[in-house]
Amino acid sequence: MKHYMLLSLLLALWCVPGAPVAHGGMKEGSCEDALAMAAAGLALSEINLDRTEGFVFALHHLSNVHTAQHGENGMVFYLTLDVVETICSVHSKKDWKACEIRDTTSTPVYGQCKAAIYISKVHRVVRLYKYNCIVRPVPAFRVHATCPDCPSLIGKDDPKIQETVSLSLEKFNREGGLSNRFTLLQVSRASAGWFNWWYYNVEYTIQETTCLSTAGAADPCPLLGCGFSHKGFCKGSLFSTPSGSTDTSVDCEIYEPECAEREKKGRVRSLPATGQMVILRCRMSRLRTDLRVTLSLKEDPQIPGQVEPSILPFPKVVSANCSPAAAGETLVGKVFSEDPMFKKWWAIWTC
């Protein structure tokens, strides 16, 4: 339904004045244009649906737009999206507009995505062709400057985090009221803080197994088939005291089984916070894949009598009608505007 509403907006706004031609038939677009903003919203929704781990991204700012016409009614948009992380798991399939953006108290994560998306206004087709995202957390010292008592991100393989996962998942299986046992899929986020004594927070995904919930943690429990196996997203905490006692809490959302497989269109890479050493290794095979021209050699699967669009190399220039987001008053906005990684915007698509 949301796609149809945005497509209706695209129908109303499609006839816009021509912009300067950049290269290869591309035209520069305006980041303030309602048509480009609608395309950016659709692109981000498709990126979130394509992802299988992590948290839903929300749009922070549209910082570059180019377009290429395909046929009489289609358009390929080449977009650079500044994004921020929300608290929704990608397994929830929630639209990014319905998700709460992660605030300073839980260390915000920000980054940038480049996306090539084809939209046909007449045939109501929205097709994401490729994307590439890089994200990183706000530095801990910046968070603690405004929130000294807030927890800090720590390694997901920390022994205390592993203990928190184990104890909280066991608590869920024991007290959750579901018939089958769930097992860990992946740890998504881990943090630790101090309030009278140490506490640990962990967010992780789980999946349903063939075992009953009364089964022991050491019992072999194969996963249920995709048509029957529920997945879930859990938030667990472990509170320790000087005496050595612990208290565990857990809260999980369970999602309906899903079997549909999607061809992966891109990837998301997580970098350390600014100030830490970052090494980006670029393999030439990957580089060629990201930059190659995708030719329209096959029929469009959704539009009879039409071939798919050619996806050109991503533009190496910023549209004259686009500008970086203002720093604003929020911590993530200030850090975003200062981060040299996202000023060198061409690098994150090619590396």
Which of residues 347 and 163 earns the better pLDDT score? Answer: 163
Cα–Cα nearest to 248, from 172, 149, 157, 193: 172
CA 322 to chain centre: 23
Cα(292)–Cα(202) distance, integer angstroms: 40
Q: List the CATH number of the domain containing 334.
A: 3.10.450.10
Q: How confident is the model at residue 116 (pLDDT cuts 50, 70, 90)?
A: very high
| Pair 44, 93 in one domain | yes
Q: Which DSSP letter does residue 21 get?
A: B
Token pair of 30, please?
A: 């305006």
**What is the spatial order of strands in the sheet that 109-120 belongs to?**
27-28, 55-70, 74-89, 109-120, 125-137, 266-270
Residue 243's pLDDT is what?
80
Q: Give how far Cα 24 sits from Cα of 66, 130, 204, 233, 316, Å.
A: 11, 18, 44, 44, 12
What mean pLDDT comes out for the span 170-187?
A: 96
The predicted-structure confidence for 89-99, as pLDDT tens digits, reads as follows 999 999 999 99
Q: Structure pTM?
A: 0.88
Among 134, 62, 166, 136, CA closest to 332: 136
Amino acid identity, position 34: A
- The whole-number pLDDT of residue 346 equals 45
Residues 92 and 239 placed together within one structural domain of the fold: no
Assess whether 21 and 55 both reside in one domain: yes
Reading the block at residue 300, the tokens are 């469009």
Q: Are residues 289 and 250 in the same domain?
A: no
In percent, the amount of the chain with pLDDT more than 90 equals 68
Per-residue pLDDT, 15: 39
Is residue 7 in a domain?
Answer: yes
Residue 18 predicted with pLDDT over 50: no
Asked if residue 183 lies in contact with residue 172, where contact means CB atoms within 8 angstroms, the answer is no
Do the domain assignments include residue 182?
Answer: yes
Do residues 154 and 249 both lie within one domain? yes
Asked whether residue 182 falls in the same domain as residue 132, the answer is no
Same domain, 133 and 277: yes
pLDDT at 318: 93
Both tokens of 241, joined, read 């005291």
Average confidence (pLDDT) over 135-149 = 94
Lookup result for tokens 């994200």: 135
Check residue 27 and give its pLDDT: 95
DSSP state of 158: -
Residues 97 and 43 in one domain: yes
* Share of residues in the chain with pLDDT > 70 (%): 84
Query: Alpha-carbon distance 57 to 42, whole Å?
Result: 12
One domain for residues 211 and 179: yes
Mean pLDDT is lowest, of 22-26, 88-92, 303-307, for: 22-26
Quick: pLDDT tens for 311-336.
998 888 999 999 988 888 889 999 99
pLDDT tier at 81 (50, 70, 90 boundaries)?
very high
Q: pLDDT for 270-303, tens place per residue?
A: 999 987 655 555 543 343 334 445 655 689 999 9
- Domain assignment present for 284: yes
pLDDT: which is higher, 12 or 214: 214
Average pLDDT, the chain: 86
Q: Are residues 32 and 113 in the same domain?
A: yes
Biggest CA-to-CA distance, the chain: 74
Given a cut of 90, whether residue 186 has pLDDT beyond it is yes
Do 114 and 204 lie in one domain? The reply is: no
- DSSP one-letter code for 333: H
Residue 6 has pLDDT above 70, yes or no: no
What string of DSSP letters covers 47-71? HHHH--SSEEEEEEEEEEEEEEEET
Domain range for residue 287? 2-139+273-350
Q: Measuring CA to CA, how many Å separate 76 from each of 49, 79, 125, 141, 263?
A: 19, 10, 11, 41, 19
